[in-house]
Structure 1
Amino acid sequence: MQQVIIMTESLERKNHAIVFLMAPVFYTGMLLFSAACSQHKKERPLAEVAEKKLSAPRTTMLYQLPEKDRPKVILMDTMPKPSVINVNIRNSAIGPVVETDNKKGIQKLLAGSDTANSVAINEAKGIGFFATFTTDDGLSLDQIYCSYTDKWGNLWFGTNGGGVSKYDGKNFTTYTSAHGLANNVVWCITQDHNGNLWFGTDGSGVSKYDGESFTNYSTAEGLPDNVIFCIVEDKKNNLWFGTLKGGVSTWNGKRFKNYSTKEGLANNAVKTIIEDSKGNFWFGTLGGGVSKWDGKSFTNYTTKEGLIGNKVLSVAEDNSGNLWFGTEGKGMSKYRGNIFTNYPVPGELSNDAVLCIAKDKQGALWFGTQNSGVIQYDKGIFTRYSTANGLANNQIRTITEDEK
């Protein structure tokens, strides 16, 4: 089981920032744990919380931790559908975090929390936990635009004004313009084959961090625009940058080469980039649909060719070679064999925006939406998780699977 990191931007309460998942395997039975404790404890039933108030089905008991261990509480229910319940002792607010049909444990987990709680669950190798990290824990800012796991297992978070924060599993370290970062608003992060971290900023170009110092690149060095939405390293170790107004740019380690509508790109606002398994590049644009670059020329796809919408915010390739495009206000398109198959967002908001797409190591796709939470697509089945299932917020900007 891999960890899944889901960042939410709270629309009402800004102390939701990072939802961090660990602990894949549940013991059988129903146990209650505290994140602050090394052992599980059973205490008296929480009489004031009746079974009928619980969202999860077939919950048979609820236990309360001693006063000193509050408010970090969960309930494990391994009746026909194992569930994790997040309990706020202070106000008895209860809601399911995850649910599965697999009686042996949770195979796909999404985490949620409230303002007061972190939760802990027992697993085969000890105590794991859901933890919500905010500025109180060292995060530079609670509004997260992007996330990335480097090859050493560190988690990096780009923020809307607080620079970048690195989490090494124990502590946060923050880097801002005071340390040499080009701009404190960071849209995207990637790591190149040499181990350098690259940060795309909102208005100041891109910053390269070699572990000791920053080197900054802007239009003065050859970039076509200073707003960098996305960064990808290709199989030949070239870096590709998607910009707000300048199209795309490649960096070969020495110089930039730029492509725009003059060369055939569909639109100069490029929100997302992917290199597919065949070596083609796909550029999702804000208004021109999607462009494919085969190394020689561009081929453009819009609603005329069957794409569900022309503002493409996210793109991913699944294990079968299908390309998936998430759009603004239209839903999702799957592309295979020159044929588009379109899907509305599952739930009440079928025309919701799909802000990000991530593929986990098991091959499932995860779609983060503007207002509908997160959608999992696995073996042809869509499953939606929202605040009703315990997510902190229904706006999901970025999803990252870490190395553990």
Structure 2
Amino acid sequence: MARVVSLILLCVCFSAFAESTRLSLSDYFTETWNTRSGLPHNSINSVAQTKDGYIWIATWEGLARFNGREFKLFTRTEIPGLPDSGLRSLIAMDNGDLYIVGARGGIAVRSQGQWRSLPSSSTMINHALISEQGEIWLALEGQGIVYRASEKATEHTLVDKLSAYRLIKDKQNVIWAATSDGLYKIEGKKVSKVGQEAGLPDASAFTLLLTQSGTLIVGTEKGAWQKQHDKFVSVDATLNHESISSLLEDTQGDIWFGTINKGVFRLRQSGLENLDADDGLPNNRILSLLQDREKSIWVGTNAGLFRLREAPFTNWSQSRGLASDYVRTVLSHSDGSLWVGSSNGLNRIINGEITTLNQAYERDPLSVLSLTEDKNGDVWLGTYTGGLMKVVNNKIYPVKNRTNGLLNNEVRAVLFDSSHNLWIGTASGLTKLTDDGQIHSYTTEEGLAGNFIMALSEDNQGQLWVGTGVGVSIFDPALNTFSNIEFPEKFSTEYAFGFYLDGEKMWLATDRGLIRYDLKTDVMHLFGREQGLPVDKLFQVIEQGDSLWLTSNRGVIQLNKTQLTEFLDNPTGAESVVVSMQLYDEGDGMLSAQANGGSNPAAVTHSDGQLWVATAKGVAIVKPERLKEASKRRLSTVIESFEVDGKPVALPAKSDVLSLPAGISRVSFNYAGLSFIMPQRLNYQTHLSGYNEEWVDRGRLAITEYTNLPPGEYTFKVRAGYPNSEWQNNEQTLRFRIAPYFWQKTSFKLVLILGLFLIAYAIYKYRLYHYKRIEIELTEKVEQQMHDLKNQADAFAHLANHDQLTQLPNRRAFDSWLFENFSQFQHNKQSLSVAIMDIDHFKLINDNFSHLIGDQVICEIARLLRINFPDEGYAARWGGEEFTLLFPHKGADEAARLCEIIRLEIADYNFSELAKELSVTVSFGVADNANVTDYDRLLSHADTALYHAKNNGRNKVVIYNKEILIL
């Protein structure tokens, strides 16, 4: 932890839009990179950020470019003309250019993605100053300061025989130089030394800073000095014995000092702070400082690159005064303090001050499992081995244990209910301590789901919810009984670690995800791993802002509550609802992603809006507003490389179109969102104009590939966005054109089409005479074929709709007529009757006289039907020995009379000409549309009537659903 020189931690407000508080150095999240991480060398001589958002690092073994995920190296191989890979300084220009200077006098500039080398100087260049007019001032090692009127102009020496380290120009166009001989001033090429007469010490000057207000600060071998009018005064007397190697002013106006051997100092209104190797710096020798656009501080040391950033999470740990790093419970007290129970004691934190509470009686160290506050503001604690205790006058006193009423000394949950009863959840059951001191104990024998109690809560009906290792019990104080929640078998839930009451809903943190329980309807919904939750074992549920926060062994999960509620309220349409969520862990500032559970409360919301979470390495604290601020910061997107068939291609300028040869089978784009706070969580969208017209979600994939693109012109676009936030206007584009093969060109296609047309025309003319000769013959053949086809079509049509044996319409034709006309008759309320006729004992005719005679009988009956059937009717062979008859505009009675005429005609007909002693009768079933809604029912009624006729003697006409009438 950083040693804070001044312990005054006052909130400082620099403007109406500035943050009301600043993190102490101990609360910054730190990261380190070195050669094992991909840097070419561990001495970080200079760090700069260019306009496009890249971080650039100068080392003795070359230049590194950082995009948040990986380093890309540039050495003499990638920068032709550079005399040596050793670099001393980086100068980022407002127009996006980057100048690099270093060993052997090397100078190069990167402009619009391309490198060019400038003429080298005589020796190593420590720093360079480039004016708006293109003038170049160089600070040389051992050879002073030189000047060039332009990039390639002749050098003029202004100061010789000393080492110049840093150059800066103030608002009056005065150039100041930090040198081994102190501070020099250059006005219009006139050089003068500024020494002790101006208040500066007799010492080397290493670095310079011009503040936002225009104040010049000089970092020397004997402290830092700022210019006030014509004199220099010490910035802070504490630094007067320190060698200041680098300077930085951050966006809040605080001054950072890099030193030769004491690490980093920061000066703000509340005092001076120090961060050194004991606090995590790779080394105490500081070579460079930078604040990037996301307000992170980059520190270049001679043992690696170090960064401090305001991560979403800060921490209190043992190194800051906690009794132990292993924290089990936290309590937000009504007086504004935070209480932290850990494996080795109890702490109270208020206004940044931490105190440790001791036991009133000497005994073994206290392992605290649970905390609660009573109506008087007193704090009660449950312990691992000491039972129930209470804080009185800042001392911890025992209250109850196994010897005087508790079922077990392991107390994982304590709760005061609305009647001021204290409920004590132990490893062996539940105990109630009333306001008058009475004790009541409850176990599985009294109805508890299990004896191992981990969580307690009271709902708005005054019922006590008890979380155990085998389910949840609800205690009704009016009935003095327990009821147990039966989780659906598909939930597979056993452990209930925590509760959160949300109006008429109770949220349960379980070992299978988050469960919402409706207190009115007893309906439960589960949101677990199958629904997209990254972790299904949850310990605590907290609501803050528009989110639910869940703690787990893998970090803290933030869920959008509105989306989650919509998801659970409409399970059938859940696939269309996206629930925004984010998992936070060590990369977001937590010292440990293991948030502890099994004791309560394991996480709380404090009065200032911060969330405090018990973890295996202290307490992790997050302020949700800080997360929202991070997602609103400017985010740059860059296209880093473009490959064609696996080979890299130099990126063109933004306005240029890259021409690619014909036959390209694959193009791929590598891109990055230049965020150094959450680079692994950025989301990307791409769009390829000319191929698709919509943005395509790529998730966190930083590469896109297209195959077999046809020839044409395309514009590739990519943009990056923070998780759970709107897309920024940061898209980058790359235009390219794929050339066609000669046979794919429009001109070739036109020539080919013209040639084909001419050939076709020649063939046409050649064949025209032949066609004329055979025209008459062909016409006759066509006419004959058309006639034959018509006859054949007519025959097919007739066969399709007529019975081949009787030439009556077949069942298909009958069904079609009935289907097409039934609805019209019903709509017009017109009568329509159907009769089904069956030849009686037709099987005996086939058996006694042969099937041939049977066929002749069928044909004869069909003939009699055609003779005797009314013109407006419709008769068809239904199949086998059955016929169907339609009687439009006739009711069942009238249709039955007509059927009776046909029946008598058939019964009286002489069939002996077909076979001796052959006689034939038929039966009819008649029905009308009076009480039916579809034609299938009409046919069914007629069939039923026919069935009745055949079962009652045959040779009858029977009307459906009326008194049987035999006419």
Judge same fold: TM > 0.5, yes or no: yes
Runs of 5+ consecutive residues of structure 1 not aligned to the other structure:
1-21, 38-42, 78-82, 99-109, 113-131
CA distance in 2, matches of 1:86, 1:348: 36
In structure 2, the residue matched to 1:168 is 350
Q: Is the counterpart of residue 257 in structure 1 residue 440 in structure 2?
A: yes
Task: For 2:508, give the aligned amino acid.
Answer: F
In structure 2, the residue matched to 1:66 is 257
How big is each residue's C-alpha offset from its partner over 1:146-180, in whole Å with a ceiling of 9 and x where there is no partner? 111222112111111x2101112232221244656
Q: Is the counterpart of residue 217 in structure 1 residue 232 in structure 2?
A: no
List aligned pairs for 1:112-261, cutoff 5 A.
112=314, 132-160=315-343, 162-177=344-359, 184-213=366-395, 214-261=397-444
Q: Does structure 1 retain, via aligned residues, the 8 Å contact 2:513–2:533?
A: no
Q: Is the counterpart of residue 342 in structure 1 residue 541 in structure 2?
A: no
Change (3 A) 1:89 1:345: farther
SS of the residue corresponding to residue 157 of structure 1 reads strand
More helix by share: 2
Task: For 1:52, give the aligned amino acid.
Answer: N
* 1:290 positional shift: 0.7
Q: 1:383 aligns with which of 561, 581, 591?
A: 581
Q: Is the counterpart of residue 52 in structure 1 residue 67 in structure 2?
A: yes
Q: Does structure 2 retain, via aligned residues, the 8 Å contact 1:326–1:356?
A: yes
Q: Does structure 2 retain, via aligned residues, the 8 Å contact 1:222–1:256?
A: yes
* 1:368 positional shift: 0.5
SS of the residue corresponding to residue 581 of structure 2 reads strand
* 1:393 positional shift: 2.5
Change (3 A) 1:34 1:307: closer
Q: 2:498 aligns with which of 314, 327, 333?
A: 314
* 1:356 positional shift: 1.7
Q: Is the counterpart of residue 291 in structure 1 residue 495 in structure 2?
A: no
How big is each residue's C-alpha offset from its partner over 1:71-97, in whole Å with a ceiling of 9 and x where there is no partner? 5999785xxxxx775867665466986
Change (3 A) 1:264 1:343: same
Change (3 A) 1:84 1:158: farther
* 1:217 positional shift: 1.2
CA distance in 1, matches of 2:522, 2:547: 23
CA distance in 2, matches of 1:88, 1:255: 62
Q: Does structure 1 retain, via aligned residues, the 8 Å contact 2:535–2:552?
A: no
SS of the residue corresponding to residue 298 of structure 1 reads strand
CA distance in 1, matches of 2:463, 2:532: 35
Q: 1:401 aligns with which of 591, 605, 627?
A: 605
Q: Does structure 1 retain, via aligned residues, the 8 Å contact 2:340–2:347?
A: yes
* 1:275 positional shift: 0.4
SS of the residue corresponding to residue 262 of structure 1 reads helix
SS of the residue corresponding to residue 319 of structure 2 reads helix
In structure 2, the residue matched to 1:7 is none
RMSD of Structure 2 on Structure 1 (CA): 4.0
SS of the residue corresponding to residue 483 of structure 2 reads strand
Q: Does structure 2 retain, via aligned residues, the 8 Å contact 1:270–1:286?
A: yes
Q: Does structure 2 retain, via aligned residues, the 8 Å contact 1:34–1:74?
A: no
SS of the residue corresponding to residue 403 of structure 2 reads helix
Flag the structure with more relative contact order, 1 or 2, with Cα contacts below 8 A and sequence separation at least 6: 1
Q: Is the counterpart of residue 35 in structure 1 residue 19 in structure 2?
A: no
In structure 1, the residue matched to 2:514 is 332
Change (3 A) 1:273 1:307: farther
In structure 1, the residue matched to 2:313 is 111
Change (3 A) 1:144 1:44: same
Task: For 1:370, give the aligned amino acid.
Answer: N
How big is each residue's C-alpha offset from its partner over 1:349-401, in whole Å with a ceiling of 9 and x where there is no partner? 745321222233x4743210112433344323452223344433222233222
Q: Does structure 1 retain, via aligned residues, the 8 Å contact 2:513–2:535?
A: yes
Task: For 1:111, give the aligned amino acid.
Answer: F
CA distance in 1, matches of 2:429, 2:364: 19
Change (3 A) 1:181 1:304: farther
* 1:317 positional shift: 1.4
* 1:111 positional shift: 1.1
How big is each residue's C-alpha offset from its partner over 1:301-352, in whole Å with a ceiling of 9 and x where there is no partner? 133477551111111112x421111112x11111112111111159987453
* 1:247 positional shift: 3.0
Q: Does structure 2 retain, via aligned residues, the 8 Å contact 1:247–1:267?
A: no
Q: Does structure 2 retain, via aligned residues, the 8 Å contact 1:260–1:268?
A: yes
Q: Does structure 2 retain, via aligned residues, the 8 Å contact 1:326–1:354?
A: yes
* 1:200 positional shift: 0.1
CA distance in 1, matches of 2:592, 2:532: 16
Q: Which stretch of structure 1 is more off in the superposition, 83-92 or 150-159?
A: 83-92
SS of the residue corresponding to residue 225 of structure 1 reads coil
CA distance in 2, matches of 1:28, 1:346: 43
CA distance in 2, matches of 1:210, 1:147: 18
Task: For 1:317, give the aligned amino acid.
Answer: L
SS of the residue corresponding to residue 66 of structure 1 reads strand
Q: Does structure 2 retain, via aligned residues, the 8 Å contact 1:149–1:400?
A: yes
CA distance in 2, matches of 1:176, 1:36: 29
How big is each residue's C-alpha offset from its partner over 1:171-202, in whole Å with a ceiling of 9 and x where there is no partner? 22212446568861100111101222101001
Task: State, as a whole percentage, how many aligned pairs show the same letter.
Answer: 19
Task: For 1:168, give the aligned amino acid.
Answer: I
Q: Does structure 1 retain, via aligned residues, the 8 Å contact 2:23–2:310?
A: no
CA distance in 1, matches of 2:394, 2:589: 40
Change (3 A) 1:145 1:212: closer
Q: Does structure 2 retain, via aligned residues, the 8 Å contact 1:250–1:257?
A: yes
In structure 2, the residue matched to 1:303 is 487
Q: Is the counterpart of residue 374 in structure 1 residue 557 in structure 2?
A: yes
Task: For 2:24, give the aligned amino acid.
Answer: A
Task: For 1:221, give the aligned amino acid.
Answer: N
Task: For 2:313, give the aligned amino acid.
Answer: A
Q: Which stretch of structure 1 is more off in the superposition, 379-388 or 165-174?
A: 379-388
Q: Does structure 2 retain, via aligned residues, the 8 Å contact 1:201–1:228?
A: yes
Task: For 1:358, give the aligned amino acid.
Answer: I
In structure 1, the residue matched to 2:591 is 392
Which entry has the higher C-alpha Rg, 1 or 2?
2
TM-score (norm 2): 0.31
CA distance in 2, matches of 1:74, 1:369: 36
CA distance in 1, matches of 2:423, 2:473: 14
Q: Which stretch of structure 1 is more off in the superposition, 183-192 or 243-252?
A: 243-252
CA distance in 1, matches of 2:290, 2:505: 39
Task: For 1:164, give the aligned amino acid.
Answer: L
CA distance in 2, matches of 1:350, 1:34: 31
* 1:268 positional shift: 0.8
Change (3 A) 1:378 1:138: same
SS of the residue corresponding to residue 324 of structure 2 reads coil
For these two proteins, the number of residue pairs brought into alignment is 332
Q: Which stretch of structure 1 is more off in the superposition, 63-72 or 213-222?
A: 63-72
SS of the residue corresponding to residue 336 of structure 2 reads coil
CA distance in 1, matches of 2:436, 2:298: 51
